[in-house]
Amino acid sequence: PFFQKRSELIAKIPNFWVTTFVNHPQVSALLGEEDEEALHYLTRVEVTEFEDIKSGYRIDFYFDENLYFENKVLSKEFHLNESGDASSKSTEIKWKSGKDLTKRSSQTQNKASRKRRHEEPESFFTWFTDHSDAGADELGEDIKDDIWPNPLQYYLASDMDDEEGEEEDDDEEEEGLEDIDKEGDEDEGEEVEDEDEVEEGEEDEGGDD
């Protein structure tokens, strides 16, 4: 029930899941520019562990109506049989005409993006069709064990970085002010010493008379 309540609250936050994935270091490495565009339509993510927790889990991605595919839900399941062999299966993505992101060649990708990332990664959506190594599916494990329990830490990651940067700037400014204050105190000390010397000199002159 807590996850259910959380999902309802998250659904009211614009771009929550795409922001979370973009801020996650491992997942962001798998996202091309158009993947990010498609993930703007992602409204809900659900992770369901099977009753026998050792037998596997399922991840469901819920999408609004979008330009890329017909599906409202994309799912991928991971299964472990009794001998410990892993297998996976997933929803077949019903791509709209000309929008299959898994078939885009690197030539059609944005050059600036490719330059920024050195090379454009394979589409995030190829993960749904890749069942070659279900026992070591890093993306599935990252979502299940890292993102799902606490997605907020990644959603807020960019804001926290900004705040840390501001705090560092504030610290530097405070240090600068402290230095100025110290210099001011030293100058005042010197002025007091000079005044004392002047007074002593006047007393000496008076004594001679």
179 and 194 in a common domain: yes
User: CA-to-CA distance for 5 and 7, rounded, in angstroms?
Assistant: 5
Give the pLDDT score at 84.
Answer: 82
pLDDT digits (tens, 9 = 90+) for 25-76: 999 999 999 999 999 999 999 999 998 757 899 999 999 999 999 999 999 9
Q: Check residues 50 and 121 and name the one with the higher pLDDT.
A: 50
Q: What pLDDT sits at residue 107?
A: 44
| Domain containing residue 135: CATH number | 3.30.1120.90
Does 194 or 32 have the greater pLDDT score? 32
More confident residue, 152 or 195: 152
Q: What's the whole-number mean pLDDT along residues 8-12? A: 95
Least confident of 13-17, 77-81, 142-146: 77-81
Are 102 and 165 members of one domain? Answer: no
CB 42 within 8 A of CB 16: no
CB 59 within 8 A of CB 45: yes
SS3 45: strand
Residue in 117, 24, 101, 42 with CA at minimum distance from that of residue 68: 101
- Residue pLDDT, tens place only, 137-179: 999 999 999 999 999 999 998 776 666 666 666 666 666 666 6
Tell me, yes or no, whether 163 and 208 share the same domain.
Answer: yes
Neighbouring residues of 39: CB distance < 8 A, sequence distance ≥ 6: 17, 18, 21, 31, 124
Instruction: Quote the pLDDT of residue 191.
Output: 56
Residues 149 and 162 in one domain: no
Query: What pTM does this model have?
Result: 0.71
Answer whether residue 190 shows pLDDT above 80.
Answer: no
- Per-residue pLDDT at 197: 56
Greater model confidence, 197 or 92:
92
pLDDT band at 117 (very low <50, low <70, confident <90, very high): very low
Cite the beta strand spans of 127-176 per DSSP E: none
Same domain, 114 and 94: yes
Query: Are 47 and 139 in the same domain?
Result: yes
- Mean pLDDT of all residues belonging to the chain: 82
Residue 24 burial (C-beta neighbours within 10 Å; 0-12, 13-18, 19+): buried
Distant-in-sequence contacts of 48-54, Cβ < 8 A, 24+ apart: 49/144, 54/80
C-beta of residue 42 within 8 angstroms of C-beta of residue 18: yes
| pLDDT over 60 (residue 135) | yes
Cα 59 to chain center, whole Å?
20
The whole domain housing 191 covers: 156-209
108 and 19 in one domain?
yes
Residue of 80 and 201 predicted with greater confidence: 80
Do the beta carbons of residue 95 and residue 44 sit within 8 Å? no
